[in-house]
Structure 1
């Protein structure tokens, strides 16, 4: 099931729902809905001037888009950046006696590494001065807040919307003044807060604001949190699939083990030359309702960018009854049409006055479930599309050009970053600004040593060990008997009546693959689903044939394979929901077109056979971790940022000492809720299954917690860990069960390069970094676990925030790497430990397709793979 198909299906439902909502700033008396599409198939666009930056003059006006997004711009930036620095003041290492002296491991072969970090230096005695700024009455507009300070902040300042940082001290510790803005008199109070040294978390936060401002001073364009150089944009593709790539960089300045560094990584923004209006007009038919359905299918759920302010928005619906002729209220109380506003403010000419408007619900962020979000209206003609389309993916030359510019190998990435830092150091305006703050950036990449751990033995058959080659073992073990086979006593295959030949081939190849794995099986029952029927109805008829007294006892020995004619999300969701709730049965879906490629057909069938075995309770292989009676737990959360539905926390725990069986449970929470409640019940249930399998209580529970946002370390210490400790405290055992809690972070911009002679390459799988780019306050480390064929490998960051198991650095690093070998859906090493990824798959399936608790009878099976 492709992500694009799921997005489209979500979009259709979302479009119908949002069409009933009122848009902000619309006329008090609704105008008659215009006829769209217009009779002609296309109108020529008028001239559009270069996008103009938003103005922040007093009494200025903005359309709803800018009122909602820019009104508190500086304050929002401050809050986003502040979350990162909240983690930096949480000292978790001080509670762990076993790593208080040293947290550095020693195992493995030493390798020389470079990182995309550049040292930031300043004089140790240099001091900055922080002032709090208060407005009475409160001012929402970030630009207006900054404008009111214009004559008091001096030439050199950093302002985040709430606080002012200066490299000098003001004459008075407190300054109060008033200013007129429109009909409002605002009293501004500037009051001294404290002195900041260069390594203070607050000072680092201001440095990040300063550095982003220097990028803006070079006329780079901000899109989201990053800046892009649109003057070096690369255009490629044909007329229908023309694309534009903006080169850019993601940056952050933070304090690490021994120094402050600037982390810079290459980041590209893909933009389609086509506008949303172009796409809407490309769909032509006489049936207007069909056009609306197709337009919603193409647009809803996609991301568009408005070129006049370079901001991105998710399209959540289409307001067919709204047009650019509608009016909205400006900040001064006057009403103006969208047509006149964009002409006056941005010199943008809207040529089709009857085009419908796009609806965006605004930026939705984790932890903001109570924040009211007014819909934002966008003009399709002023919105360019982003991302890839099916047409682009099918275009070989376009995809090759895209890969050449975005999938940079270590050598190319190193070159681009060197060019970036040289640009910063040679720009006179930037350097003048940095000198005010006594900041200097090293031009050399940070250099240090890492260690590559020994290769992990993977046991497939009980007497056969294999060693990964380039991070994989699929080629050497594809026909080796499984570690724990599981017989297929009852199973059936559903297929579209149009795919009978493919279904027959799939049946034969599956039977061959399953027999080669040493699995006993009964013949499959084939069921054709006709066009007028549905897979769900066919499944219901089949299960109703079972006698009531035997239905429950046989269901879990009943594997369903669904051969789907296409990847429509609604069909997939109905099948999964029925087989995970109403009729709990392990199932496997595959799209017919996947099997139409002869070269990969045997490999796909073999993969399907392995997944079927896993979902029935079998085990493909195992890894000996060397730690006895340890339960491993993975926790991850799924947030539906499109439909704003409930957040799903996935909990997965090993229930055997050999890590071949797993227990799973979901916790359904309010939208955007990241910290998980209900972990006590989840862990208690997992421990009961462990005791059934092992006839004893585990000695330790080791948790890998994924999906935690910046600034939430303290929340984990205050809320999630106490829940687990409360459960472990009530276990009837002679010895206390110890707990280790490790935070996993995948979304990082740090990259490592292995030095090989005069060239750079990706570090080998198993490379550990626990110096230089770790923090003194944390028991943390990086691991490069997987191998990539193209581009630069991304490491994973691990932070042990609680540990009564007292895992030594060598032990926790080796253990974490070993667990990256235990994910049964990929015969190779993955980026995170297996329990983490199992939890992710579970939360994603429930959040995307099921939307309710799966039946508890499936909890001991990997049905979510």
Structure 2
């Protein structure tokens, strides 16, 4: 196990050890003449000769059998059931394989098992329609299902098993098709699929759906044990010893230090404390349409955020102008006592219409980031690790990702050199693998993130790499809490989404050292 820091904690995983007796299987390549593009038809054609393949696993191209095939089974002729044409099947021996080497075979085998269990496959997931959960108030049903994958790990051959759900609409389109097109469809073909945007924005609907799709770790573990595979696999999932890393201390402006909480969020702290570095907004412009134009109001600056300051300033303003039509108060936070005091003055003591607006402070924090400011720090040996640089490369369809990566990497190194007067001594990319669950969830089961260190010549201990990774999950300024992946990854995703969806061209270089894309 890589790393030792943190408090040990016993957990269970969604890995099941595959227990098998080592023996040999035989791999054949299956070719069809004429070529059959329809995969399901290839299965049908080969199954006409099932007496040669009593125990087989076939994926449409490669055939695995537990014994060598006789010569007469290597050249077969089948009949296409759709047009009665003859199809020649040539089966060519490739090589013998040990079961321990046959990861592909196991994955194909589990697909077949799901089919035998009458599961319905969508993408890489298999769902059980017989166990559908009805949500009649929303005309929805939830199909429970499983995701399976077999791979080789340090502990041997493992089956990765996870539960999943698919939400289906039960609302019929039969009446719509009949009225609009005068076409009568078979009712079984009239199920609407997926959720509309209106449904996804319905909080009550999504809450009801989440009751069945966001299952707890204990429920997820119980779902694993309900599957009857018909194979010799371990009866229990694998237990592991994980480590709980210590909570990170957050550093705000004015030398304020805040200890991390078990909830891994600091929403209140980020609105109460000063930012680490603020950018003064000296020159800015506000755009509005002509119909929204109004006379410039009188601006009154308060010395502090005390309720008494608001009350006295409002009284002075009303006394100074008997024709005052409206008082608009902008507050940094929402407080009931301050709101009540302002309304008492404007509604009873000095009657004048009033509007109290609690400014969305998070918008100001986001603007500060876009202008190059920093909201908070964490204890990292490299103090400049909260300075950001981004590059965008527009790639052509089919172009290798590494082409653009090389350009971005070189530009980042040059910018680092310009800022620091030298190139970096250490560049960290991930190689040995580990898992970190950097978030706390209140519903369902948290999904850990798998990190793989692909190159490391810095002799950095695993503990340091893991702690650094965890620390970087604290530095995404769009969310006052930890995120699932390190902040550079999340920023890159945010930037790529903005450019790909909206800008659709390379942004100006002058913005590269700012988080303008938040």
Structure 2 length-normalised TM? 0.81
1:739-783 CA deviation, whole Å, 9 max, x = no partner? xx32xxxxxxxxxxxxxxxxxxxxxxxxxxxxxxxxxxx711101
User: Which residue of 2 is the match for residue 407 of structure 1?
Assistant: 214
Distance 2:497 2:506 in 1: 13
Q: Alpha-carbon deviation of 1:251? A: 1.3
**Highest relative contact order (Cα 8 Å, sep 6+), 1 or 2?**
1
Q: Alpha-carbon deviation of 1:277? A: 6.0
Distance 1:160 1:818 in 2: 44
Q: Alpha-carbon deviation of 1:681? A: 2.8
Residues 695 and 395 from structure 1, CA distance in 2 versus in 1: closer, same or farther, beyond 3 angstroms?
closer
User: Which residue of 1 is the match for residue 435 of structure 2?
Assistant: 782
Contact 1:128 1:167 in 2 (8 A): yes
User: Which residue of 1 is the match for residue 127 of structure 2?
Assistant: 228
Q: Does 1:677 align with 2:403?
A: yes
1:808 pairs, out of 431, 438, 461, with 461
3-state DSSP class of the match of 2:99? coil
1:198 pairs, out of 90, 93, 99, with 99
1:418-475 CA deviation, whole Å, 9 max, x = no partner? 223xx33xxxxxx2xx4xxxxx121212112111222222211262222221111222
Residues 495 and 142 from structure 1, CA distance in 2 versus in 1: closer, same or farther, beyond 3 angstroms?
same
1:242 pairs, out of 97, 121, 139, with 139
3-state DSSP class of the match of 2:145? strand
> Which residues of structure 2 form unaligned runs of 5+?
306-354
Q: Alpha-carbon deviation of 1:676? A: 3.4
> Which residues of structure 1 form unaligned runs of 5+?
1-102, 285-322, 325-338, 340-348, 353-379, 425-430, 435-439, 514-597, 629-656, 703-740, 743-777
Q: Give runs of aligned pairs for residues 223-622 of structure 1, distance below 5 A.
A: 223-238=122-137, 241-275=138-172, 350=185, 382=190, 384-391=192-199, 393-394=201-202, 396=204, 398-420=205-227, 423-424=228-229, 431=230, 434=231, 440-461=232-253, 463-469=255-261, 470-494=263-287, 602=358, 605-622=360-377
Distance 1:508 1:107 in 2: 54
Q: Alpha-carbon deviation of 1:492? A: 3.4
1:700 pairs, out of 426, 429, 437, with 426
Contact 1:786 1:831 in 2 (8 A): yes
Q: Alpha-carbon deviation of 1:683? A: 2.3
User: Which residue of 2 is the match for residue 177 of structure 1?
Assistant: 76
Output the aligned Cα RMSD: 3.2
Residues 206 and 235 from structure 1, CA distance in 2 versus in 1: closer, same or farther, beyond 3 angstroms?
same
3-state DSSP class of the match of 1:138? coil
1:168 pairs, out of 64, 67, 71, with 67
Contact 1:275 1:385 in 2 (8 A): no
Distance 2:21 2:235 in 1: 18
Residues 456 and 281 from structure 1, CA distance in 2 versus in 1: closer, same or farther, beyond 3 angstroms?
farther
Contact 2:365 2:375 in 1 (8 A): yes
Contact 2:369 2:515 in 1 (8 A): yes
Contact 1:158 1:164 in 2 (8 A): yes
Residues 495 and 607 from structure 1, CA distance in 2 versus in 1: closer, same or farther, beyond 3 angstroms?
farther
1:333-373 CA deviation, whole Å, 9 max, x = no partner? xxxxxx9xxxxxxxxx6279xxxxxxxxxxxxxxxxxxxxx
Contact 1:173 1:191 in 2 (8 A): no
2:3 pairs, out of 93, 105, 110, with 105
User: Which residue of 2 is the match for residue 345 of structure 1?
Assistant: none
Residues 400 and 193 from structure 1, CA distance in 2 versus in 1: closer, same or farther, beyond 3 angstroms?
same
Q: Does 1:688 align with 2:495?
A: no
Residues 197 and 382 from structure 1, CA distance in 2 versus in 1: closer, same or farther, beyond 3 angstroms?
same
Residues 199 and 500 from structure 1, CA distance in 2 versus in 1: closer, same or farther, beyond 3 angstroms?
farther
3-state DSSP class of the match of 2:104? helix
Contact 2:46 2:78 in 1 (8 A): no
Distance 2:222 2:90 in 1: 47
User: Which residue of 2 is the match for residue 855 of structure 1?
Assistant: 508
1:797 pairs, out of 450, 454, 475, with 450
Structure 1 length-normalised TM? 0.50
Q: Does 1:842 align with 2:495?
A: yes
Moved more, 615-624 or 380-389: 380-389
Distance 1:787 1:811 in 2: 22
